[in-house]
A and B are shown apart, each in its own frame.
Chain A
Amino acid sequence: MRFVDEYRDAKAAEQYARAIARITTKPWTIMEVCGGQTHAIVKFGIDQLLPEGITLVHGPGCPVCVTPVELIDKAIEIAARPEVIFCSFGDMLRVPGSHGDLFAAKAAGADVRIVYAPLDALKIARENPDGQVVFFAIGFETTAPANAAAVYQARQQCIGNFSMLVAHVLIPPAMEAILDSPSNRVQGFLAAGHVCTVMGYTEYEPIAETYAIPIVVTGFEPLDLLQGVFMCVKQLEQGRAEVENQYNRAVRREGNRHAQNLIREVFEVVPRKWRGIGEIPRSGLRLTGPYGEFDAEQRFGVANYAAEEPSECISGLVLQGAKKPHECPAFGTRCTPETPMGAPMVSSEGACAAYYRYRHSAIST
């Protein structure tokens, strides 16, 4: 398939792997920020092509994984109301809350529907004027513009029975939080290409400078990832710490201005709790100004929920790149995709799910 096959060429991958090995003189630890990148790395076995000294650790860029447990509880509570049609991306349905997941809520009678886009939820709201249609808006900067557009349209078109449960998080503050952690071992980042298609990469420049760390905006295909690693290792070996753009077929430095304006129109930046990590300042989005009336937390009175996250699994360490999924004692035994303890075992972008699905009996040897 055009624009895909070119980036999955086995021979070119091998050449890149050799080139990386040639320039590597010291061990380096590089974090790929996005869960989509993690899955591509594990699925295609990219880490196994790299020289021994290069360690890839997996970042917090899985929006499903970092959505806090109380938001899942709120979603289930709202979905259970008889007047509510609760719309969500498929990934969120199996993520455990305190007492169950949205799949179980659906089985118990809640009207929970999988949609592919927030505008689909808006359409459902138009078609069901007597019901309350709630969309579970999760994601990073990538999905924020489409979600903003749905709320913007709802307001323009006076669709009063539509609202949004917002769980939006932002990537750069999470990267800074990881770098600030005393246990940090990340020496270079592969930044999330799709996030940068929206936001550009100017906001990463101060991070690279302040923390003296190379950041390479990277795509999602095998050759993208190998080239991203190559560029990152080259910077590390040369002692540079700059923002470079590997994914230049999709990303411009300034990003997509229209999309950014729409996000700013509808959302404001707030502190947000990340599942398994804790609260990070200025790391989330909330509906603002006249769009506040579309906030499902306010509409359904679930704003002050709290839920404890017990400390059995190590998803927090996995999301910060401090541990690999298989280093968790529960991995593959008490924690599996059927009985997940943490969200990274559920989501198609979660690191634990990637390891479980593609290598739970260590075939890498």
Chain B
Amino acid sequence: MEREQEFSVSCPIPLQRYPNITLAHGAGGKLMHGLIEELFLPAFSNPALDARHDSAVLSHGAVNFAFTTDSYVVQPIFFPGGDIGSLAVYGTVNDLAMAGARPWCLSAGFILEEGFPMEALWRVVQSMQQAAEHVGVCIVTGDTKVVDKGKGDGIFINTAGIGVIERDVSLSPQRVQPGDVLLLNGDIGRHGIAVMAVREGIDFETEIESDLAPLSGIVGALLEESPEVHCMRDLTRGGLATALNEIAQTAGVGIEVDENRIPVREDVQGACELLGLDPLYVANEGRFITFAAPSDAERALCVLRAHELGAGASIIGSVTDSSSSRVIIRSAIGVPRILDLLSGEQLPRIC
């Protein structure tokens, strides 16, 4: 056969959109955003929801509240640096903190699978209690359901939280404006790698611990000192890259960051290189970004660094303009490129 004929160019059939939910719909990438934008938001639309903040901000008389909810399905339920119980408390507390709220009370809903060990449940509950005490919130209401064996994954927890916005602050993506300086409170990627290492049975020379931590304290300190903070967002599923894109799109601004200024611990970097993952997309549970007015940026950095959860804080970039809603990252060798949302899950590459 002639080579020319062998090189007949062909292409696969276009894939229809998924008729069923896939795991990628929950991974924080474009598929999940599509689900939210096309299915949930139109159905439930209202001003509090449409603000698309980590918490809904509600007013009653002169009092402003933040209200949020999150479900926790992490596997394994015990991982270096935390467990599903402390995660269920701190995760929701952090969403409240991002609205500038002091966490006040939580609900806890447990979905348990038949056969789940009572001892493990007790450990989880104790961990939740200690976490709640640590941040000064009460778990004031709850619910328990048990499903048939094989219909759950041991334990799922949902928590909802209410916080009180005591200061005269208004934090939201819409307040982000060109010129704002972008701060990050420490190294990224540790939670995701810690969980993945246990899940996949990967051993590293040193154990990588999750960065799981309650952010209400450091946020309180920051707001006390730096009134010109415009927005904060915690970096959970989808990592720093996803949070930056969400803010850029909601605020209608461009964001530029410098890869060399984003701290990644060496062992986390090594694990990412090994697994073919990009730390910019790996989950965190104790990290957040702050958009501060340029006049307040240095002061904000000092406050962050003075707190134990911000010792590794740095200025990683700035808000550029309002023309593109794009995140641009200056690569390690200084060339700019787009930092986009992922489609779905970050898939480890093969070689």
A277 to B9, CA, bound (A): 6
Q: B7 contacts A44, CB within 8 Å? A: no
A18 to B24, CA, bound (A): 43
Stretch at the interface among B45-53, B159-167, B331-339: B331-339
Q: B337 contacts A349, CB within 8 Å? A: no
Stretch at the interface among B14-22, B146-154, B216-224: B14-22
**With a CB–CB cut-off of 8 A, which chain A residues contact B5?**
278
Q: B17 contacts A45, CB within 8 Å? A: no
A84 at the interface (CB under 8 A from B): no
A359 to B350, CA, bound (A): 23
A243 at the interface (CB under 8 A from B): no
Q: A142 contacts B351, CB within 8 Å? A: yes
Number of chain A interface residues as a range = 35 or more
A358 to B328, CA, bound (A): 9
**With a CB–CB cut-off of 8 A, which chain B residues contact A107?**
18, 20-23
**With a CB–CB cut-off of 8 A, which chain B residues contact A43?**
331, 337
**With a CB–CB cut-off of 8 A, which chain B residues contact A177?**
3, 6-7
B340 at the interface (CB under 8 A from A): yes
A338 to B27, CA, bound (A): 13
A103 at the interface (CB under 8 A from B): yes
Q: B275 contacts A276, CB within 8 Å? A: no
Once A309-B11, A348-B349 are accepted as A-B contacts, the answer to whether A361 and B326 lie under 8 Å apart by CB is yes
Whose C-beta in chain A lies nearest to the C-beta of B15? A96
Report A87 CB to chain B, min CB distance, Å.
Answer: 13
Q: B333 contacts A49, CB within 8 Å? A: yes
Whose C-beta in chain A lies nearest to the C-beta of B4? A182
Q: B348 contacts A341, CB within 8 Å? A: no
A8 to B331, CA, bound (A): 9
Once A1-B273, A143-B351, A277-B6 are accepted as A-B contacts, the answer to whether A337 and B343 lie under 8 Å apart by CB is yes
Could you mark each residue 267-287 of chain A with 1 if its beta carbon is under 8 Å from any beta carbon of chain B, else 0? 000000001111110000000
Once A116-B275, A314-B9, A315-B11 are accepted as A-B contacts, the answer to whether A339 and B348 lie under 8 Å apart by CB is no
Q: Which of A69-93 contact B (CB under 8 A)?
A: 69, 89-93
A363 at the interface (CB under 8 A from B): yes
Q: B338 contacts A143, CB within 8 Å? A: no
A342 to B260, CA, bound (A): 34
**With a CB–CB cut-off of 8 A, which chain A residues contact B331?**
43-45
Report A34 CB to chain B, min CB distance, Å.
Answer: 9
Q: Which of B12-49 contact A (CB under 8 A)?
A: 12-24, 30-31, 34
10 new A-B contacts, CB < 8 A, other than A36-B351, A49-B333, are A8-B332, A48-B335, A104-B19, A108-B20, A138-B350, A278-B5, A339-B15, A349-B350, A361-B324, A363-B336
What are 8 sample pairs from A and B whose C-beta atoms fall under 8 A apart? Answer: A49-B333, A69-B12, A98-B13, A103-B24, A276-B10, A276-B11, A338-B34, A342-B12
The 9 closest A-B pairs by CB, nearest first: A45-B335, A90-B347, A316-B9, A309-B10, A313-B11, A107-B20, A337-B343, A96-B15, A89-B350
